[in-house]
């Protein structure tokens, strides 16, 4: 297919708001598959069992479009800027990872992908395609490297010189075969280990792997059960996700504020949550209604109360004692275990103050 169409795809995608666009052959990435197999064999994926049946899921994807030829790889700069300055809150707050400050990126990006699919079919009616936003069995970062977006750092996140580490990825698998992007040179982290040193729980390993079982993002979002007690103090006041490794990365100097209004703090809950307000949400229906349309809905109510309890314990927030005591009486076992731990931390601090 002529390169003119390739350029037309790029132009249309950029007009939709995509910051990075590339097209690569839709072929297996054997080195990434081998890495995943070894990684899951070490159980570094924790409770994310869906990663164990990658080949089966990939075959289902291939079955949707057997004659797939290419992959349109798309990147979105989501960096929302810094937290807005203002008066210091009089209530304890928990930090939220930057990717979750605004609306749910899955829906925001999916809407744009539908328009790009429409463009492809308009130009070539025989087009068949499948849009992917984080949920399909694709090695997104490996394809993004092949498209020339950047390279994966030691923290396993994609690093770009245009936007730093703050990039969402999406793809369209299609039976079209436009000219592909020429290969681009890869980068590397060299001897830098700032992300390893910055990780509070030491989840980033020298082997360029993440032990998800220790990662704060995993523990607050993907992990459904009890958080290991030895990790709780290291989680600080993070209540949903974590940005410590990305903030420490030298590539953060390339950060630019996103042009997508959906990812601005004003579109969601911003950089932090009132932790005590979470305990005032008394049922799952109200919780779902409050966080609907934002990434925060990924964590269930009891998971978020678990996370909030850990953050309150680390903040030594005395004003949280009544809410935590009530949680001991009325909440699910998962919440009660962490509320009791938080109360122990806070009361220990009280005792220390009295002794001093």
**What is the mean pLDDT of the segment spanning 63-69?**
92
- Residues forming the active site: 134
Share of the chain above pLDDT 70, in %: 93
pLDDT value at residue 53: 86
Residue 130, pLDDT > 60, answer yes
pLDDT value at residue 340: 97
215 vs 288: CA distance, rounded Å:
25
* Long-range contact set of residues 6-12: C-beta below 8 Å, sequence gap at least 24: 6/178, 6/179, 6/180, 8/123, 9/72, 9/116, 9/119, 9/120, 9/178, 12/116, 12/119
Rg (CA), the chain: 22
pLDDT value at residue 186: 75
**What is the mean pLDDT of the segment spanning 263-291?**
96
Residue 86, pLDDT > 60, answer no
Start-to-end Cα distance in the chain = 77
Q: For 300, what's the count of Cα atoms within 13 Å in the CB-facing half-sphere?
A: 11
**Domains in the chain: boundaries:** 3-83+101-174
Q: Are 195 and 27 in contact (CB under 8 A)?
A: no
**What is the mean pLDDT of the segment spanning 267-278?**
97
The neighbouring-strand residues paired with 273 are: 94
User: What are the angstrom distances between the C-alpha of 336 and each of 11, 135, 310, 314?
Assistant: 53, 32, 11, 16
Query: Residues 191-215: pLDDT tens digits?
Result: 999 999 999 999 999 999 999 999 9
18: left (phi over 0), alpha (psi -120 to 50) or beta: beta
User: Residues with Cβ < 8 Å from 106, sequence gap 6 or more?
Assistant: 133, 134, 135
Look up residue 221 and give its DSSP letter: I
pLDDT value at residue 187: 86
Classify domain 3-83+101-174 by CATH architecture.
3-Layer(aba) Sandwich (3.40)
pLDDT value at residue 152: 95
Query: Residues 297-346: pLDDT tens digits?
Result: 999 999 999 999 999 999 999 999 999 999 999 999 999 999 999 999 99
Q: Give the model's confidence band at 136: pLDDT under 50 very low, under 70 low, under 90 confident, else very high.
A: confident
* Long-range contact set of residues 41-46: C-beta below 8 Å, sequence gap at least 24: 42/209, 43/213, 44/209, 44/210, 44/211, 44/212, 44/213, 45/212, 46/212, 46/213, 46/218, 46/222, 46/223
pLDDT value at residue 354: 44
**What is the mean pLDDT of the segment spanning 82-101?**
81
Mean pLDDT of the chain: 92
Q: Are 287 and 251 in contact (CB under 8 A)?
A: no
Residue 351, pLDDT > 60, answer no
Query: Residues 142-193: pLDDT tens digits?
Result: 999 999 999 999 999 999 999 999 999 999 999 988 777 666 657 899 999 9
304 vs 292: CA distance, rounded Å:
14
């Amino acid at each position: 297919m002529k390169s003119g169409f390739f350029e037309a795809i790029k132009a249309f995608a950029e007009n939709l708001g995509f910051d990075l666009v590339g097209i690569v052959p839709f072929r297996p990435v054997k080195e990434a598959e081998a890495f995943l197999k070894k990684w899951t064999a070490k159980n570094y994926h924790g409770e994310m069992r869906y990663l164990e049946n990658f080949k089966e899921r990939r075959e289902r994807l291939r079955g949707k479009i057997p004659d797939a030829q290419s992959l349109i790889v798309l990147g979105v700069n989501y960096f929302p800027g810094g937290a807005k300055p203002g008066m210091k809150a009089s209530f304890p707050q928990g930090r939220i990872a930057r990717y979750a400050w605004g609306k749910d990126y899955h829906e925001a990006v999916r809407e744009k992908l539908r328009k790009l699919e429409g463009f492809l079919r308009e130009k070539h009616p025989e087009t068949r395609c499948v849009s992917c936003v984080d949920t399909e069995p694709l090695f997104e970062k490996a394809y993004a490297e092949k498209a020339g977006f950047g390279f994966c750092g030691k923290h396993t996140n994609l690093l770009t010189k245009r936007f730093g580490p703050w990039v969402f990825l999406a793809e369209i698998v299609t039976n079209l075969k436009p000219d592909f992007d020429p290969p681009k040179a890869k980068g590397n982290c060299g001897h830098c280990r700032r992300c390893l040193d910055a990780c509070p729980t030491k989840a980033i390993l020298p082997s360029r792997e993440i032990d998800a079982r220790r990662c704060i993002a995993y523990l607050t979002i993907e992990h459904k059960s009890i958080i290991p007690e030895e990790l709780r103090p290291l989680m600080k006041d993070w209540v949903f996700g974590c940005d410590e490794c990305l903030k420490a990365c030298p590539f953060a100097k390339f950060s630019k504020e996103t042009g997508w209004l959906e990812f601005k703090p004003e579109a969601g809950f911003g950089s932090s949550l009132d932790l005590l307000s979470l305990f005032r949400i008394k049922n799952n229906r109200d919780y779902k209604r409050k966080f609907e349309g934002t990434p925060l809905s990924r964590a269930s109510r009891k998971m978020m109360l678990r996370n909030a309890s850990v953050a309150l314990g680390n903040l030594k927030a005395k004003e949280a004692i009544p809410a935590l005591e009530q949680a001991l009486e009325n909440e699910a076992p998962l919440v009660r275990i962490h509320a009791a731990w938080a109360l122990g931390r806070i009361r220990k601090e009280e005792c220390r103050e009295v002794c001093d």
